Structures are given as structure tokens and as C-alpha cells.
Amino acid sequence: MNNDKEILAHIISLGQEITQVKDVDLLLEKILTEARRFVNADAGSIYIIKDHELLFSYAQNDTLQKKLPAGKKLIYSAFSIPVDNKSIAGYVANTSETLNIPDVYDLDHNVPFLFDKKYDELSQYKTQTILAFALKTPQDDVLGVLQLINAKDSNGNIIPFSSQDEPYIMHFANSAAIALERAQMTRAIILRMLRMAEMRDPKETGAHVNRVGAYAAEIYEAWASRKSVPRQKIDKTKDVLRMATMLHDVGKVAISDTILKKPARLDPDEFDTMKQHTFLGAKLFEDFRSDFDEAAFHIALEHHERWDGNGYPGYVTLENGETVSDLSCKKKGAEIHLFGRIVAIADVYDALSSRRCYKEAWNESEVLQTIKDESGKQFDPEMIGAFFEAIEVVRNIREQYPDK
């Protein structure tokens, strides 16, 4: 870009682009991707403030990514650090000061913070330059910290971050903070809705629905990449799918406590009643006003359908104003919506991997073998292939959203 006006126009365009992303996790990925691209940073990370600490929430690293097989994603561990002046990210969160550090291994002795080199040692990656700044709302609330690592010149050499880029990246950070605050509010609203279900059904926890939503998004991406779906389409669909999947069991709020809270397996009549949560949940979204409504409708209705046609609720009809399922007219194969086929796998994987009042969590080898054995029976074979392609990311998601 040739002048300040062009650069500013580009930053404004990026700001508008990120506001289109509604899901928190996917938004963090987008923010980091665009910020790194603007300053040509090799790597970066985002910390989000949670419970008065900075939670390491997302990371990217081109150098490490290139060492992975095609289609594989960088796996990282979640951890938290205090909001204080002892670390670079903690200092930025605590003071809202932007730090542009030309060499983290040669810090001025007068600064209060230190660079913890153990992360470099674990990853076999050398951090040199850092540009770190707060994600701060117009009300001066700090939501997190964005760290950009190792700026590169056109020849791939590591160079200091340009001080001339700082005003532009701060403008982007302000837009990112506004988008992040909105996304966090959207996530909070969805989780509040789900707390109603959790009050009725202890299995429907925030951790469970976050995991299933994240699994579904990764399975879809692996499948869509195989199909050469355009990147923009993948990103948009993942955003809708990630949020809508969290509401897959919302219809359980209409099911009796005697069934939901029964500390044992359900008898056949009780199970028939439980099956109604699919179309009862779908009814909440049947008047489509957005892509989200349509996705949530199909997911709630069809996530218990089976590829071989032996699932439920089958085709749903209206009789005397009441919604009923017609199991004599079943759905099978591609008749089941794409999202239903994806969420079926994500939900079963999490259910088998988690402890329930009537069972212990299965070990992973049993879970994966069961899912593999159900390919072509309970599950769409193509989606099973995508699931196993994304399995390392799926495992990482389980670590990020543990049961409490």
C-alpha cells in the first residue's frame, strides 16, 4: 500500500470484516490471522481475560505449521497467567501500554517484566521480536492481549516491528475488541439459554455444548476442505455451525424431570418421550430469519438420525396442531441434513468420552473404535473420515473445555 490513506482504508475494511464473525473462538482465529497478515508476523497469540487471569486462548505459527503434514493444525495447550507486571502479556493487560520489543532475549534491565523462554524451549521455536497490545473496548475495559511475534521482511528475515504500523494496528485492535465483546455477549446469551436446560438435565453443561460445537466445526472444515469448498464459505459455515450446535439439545427443557433426572437408563416408554426433544427443540427455530435459525432447526431435529435410517425422529408432521414424528417414514443417508450428520458424530463422541450418572467415561480407544465401527451404519462414512482427520484438534478441544 502506497500511502496512509490506503493503509487506513485497508484497516477499516479488516475491522468491518471481523465484525461479521459471531462465534468467539472463530473470531479469535480471524483477529489473529488478519493482524499477523497486516504486519507480516510469523506467529502470534491471543490471551483473554477470565476470572482476573489471562487465559492463553489461541495461537498461530507459520514456521511450526509448515513442519506439519498437509491439512493438520497446530496444537497448543491452554494455560493462564496473572494480570500483573511480571510477564509481557500481563504487563500489557495491567497497564494497557503497547510494547514493541526488538529482542525479547535482551530486555532493558529497568522493565518490570520478563520473557519466559520455556515456551520457546518446548516448541523448539525462537521468539525474537514482539508487538503486544491490549484489546480494549471504548469503555476502556481490557478484554485481552494480542501478541504478534517475529515480523519478517520480504526475504523472510526477522526484523523489528515498525513503529509506523502501531497506530494502524491499534485502530484494528479497537475494532477487534468491539467485535470480541459482541461475540462474548452472544456466547453468554446462548449459554444462559442452555443453563435452563442444565437446571433440568445435569448432562447439558456449558463444557459439553462448547465441546460439541467446536468438534462439529472442525469436522465440517475437514470435510469441506476435502470437497474444495472455498475458504470464505468454510469460514462462514463454521461460524454458524459452531453456535447453532450448542443448542442441539435445547428441546430437553420441555421434557419431564422424572425422565431427564432419572439416575438410570430409560425404559422404552420413557425413551420414546425423550425422543420428542428433537422436534420440540426444532420448533424454537422453525420460522427461519437467519442462517443461524435454519442451522439450529436442522441440528436440533436431526442430530439423532442414523445413516442407515434407524434413528429418530424421522419425518415430522402436524396432527391436530400437534407436532409428531412419523417413524414409519424414516430419514436415511443424504436425506439427513449435512449438519445433522456432523453433530451426530460430535455428540456421540463427547457422550461416550464423558462420565454420566449411569456410566463411567470410556477410554479413548474404545470410543474411537465404536465410532469407526458405526461408519455406514449410525454415521455418514464421509463424515467419519473427516472426524478422524481432525482427531488431534478434537482431543485438544477436550482439554480446552474440561468438565468441572
CATH classification of the domain holding 61: 3.30.450.40
Are both 178 and 35 inside the same structural domain? yes
Does 60 score more than 90 pLDDT? yes
Q: Are 166 and 227 within one domain?
A: no
- What CATH number corresponds to the domain at position 213? 1.10.3210.10
pLDDT at 391: 96
Query: Are the C-beta atoms of residues 136 and 173 closer than 8 Å to each other?
Result: yes
**Residue that is last in its domain, among 133, 155, 182:** 182
Q: What is the pLDDT of residues 14-57, one digit of tens each?
A: 777 888 888 999 999 999 999 999 999 999 999 999 988 999 99
Q: Cα angle vertex 29, ends 25, 35, to 5°? A: 140
Range from 88-92, 202-206, 299-303 carrying the lowest mean pLDDT: 202-206
Pair (158, 238) in one structural domain:
no
pLDDT value at position 74? 87
Q: What is the DSSP-derived secondary structure letter of residue 76? A: -
Same domain, 128 and 232: no
How many C-beta neighbours within 10 Å does residue 34 have?
18
Looking only at the bridges linking them, the beta strands covering 130-136 and 142-152 are: antiparallel
User: Confidence band (pLDDT; 50, 70, 90) for 150?
Assistant: very high
Of 153, 182, 211, the domain-final residue: 182
Q: Is residue 66 part of a domain?
A: yes
Predicted confidence at residue 153, as pLDDT, reads 95
Domain assignment of residue 49, yes or no:
yes
Could you give the angle at which helices 4-18 and 24-39 cross, rounded to 10 degrees?
Answer: 170
Q: Is residue 266 part of a domain?
A: yes
Rounded to whole angstroms, how far apart are CA atoms 298 and 279?
9
> What's the pLDDT at 225?
95
pLDDT at res. 317: 72
pLDDT of residue 15: 76
| pLDDT score at 322 | 59
pLDDT (mean) for 115-140: 93
Q: Are 64 and 122 contacting, i.e. CB atoms less than 8 angstroms apart?
A: no
d(CA 76, CA 130): 19
Most confident of the ranges 168-182, 211-225, 354-368: 211-225
pLDDT at residue number 260 = 82
Angle between helices 4-18 and 166-200 (to 10 degrees): 0
Same domain, 232 and 304: yes
Q: In total, how many domains does the chain have? A: 2
Over pLDDT 90: what percentage of the chain?
Answer: 66
- Domain shared by 153 and 260, yes or no: no
The whole-number pLDDT of residue 201 equals 64
Q: What count of other Cβ atoms lies within 10 Å of the Cβ of residue 157?
A: 8
Choose the final residue of a domain: 129, 151, 182: 182
How confident is residue 357, by pLDDT bands cut at 50, 70 and 90?
A: low
pLDDT of residue 123: 87
pLDDT of residue 324: 60
Domain extent at residue 359:
201-400
What per-residue confidence (pLDDT) applies to 130? 97
Q: Out of 6-20, 75-89, 105-119, 360-374, which region has the weakest mean confidence (pLDDT)? A: 6-20
Residue 295 lies in a domain: yes
Question: Within this chain, do residues 273 and 178 fall inside the same structural domain, yes or no?
Answer: no
Question: Would 190 be classed as within a structural domain?
Answer: no
Number of H helices, E strands in the chain: 16, 9
Measured CA to CA, the distance from residue 59 to residue 44 in angstroms comes to 6
The better pLDDT of the pair 238, 15 is held by 238
Q: Is the pLDDT of residue 320 over 70?
A: no
pLDDT at position 297 is 94
User: Based on the domain organization, do 245 and 172 belong to the same domain?
Assistant: no
Is pLDDT at 248 greater than 80 in this prediction?
yes
Based on the domain organization, do 176 and 214 belong to the same domain? no
- Give the three cell numbers for residue 72: 493438520
Q: Does residue 309 share a domain with residue 209? A: yes
State which H helix or E strand residue 50 sits in: strand 41-50
The mean-pLDDT minimum among 132-146, 203-217, 376-390 falls in 203-217
Kindly state whether residues 253 and 359 are assigned to the same domain. yes
188 in any annotated domain? no
- Nearest CA-CA partner of 270 in 254, 251, 255, 253: 255
Whether 192 is in a domain gets the answer: no
As a whole number of angstroms, the distance between CA 302 and CA 398 comes to: 24
Domain assignment of residue 194, yes or no: no
- The answer to whether residues 29 and 119 belong to one domain is yes
- Does the bond joining 313 to the residue before it have cis omega, within 30 degrees of 0? yes
Mean pLDDT of the chain: 90
Angle in degrees, CA 152, 233, 384, rounded to 5: 100
Q: Is the pLDDT of residue 347 over 70?
A: yes
Summarize the confidence of residues 149-165 as an average pLDDT: 95
Phi, psi of 302 (to 5 degrees): -115, 5
Split at pLDDT 50, 70, 90, the class of 207 is confident
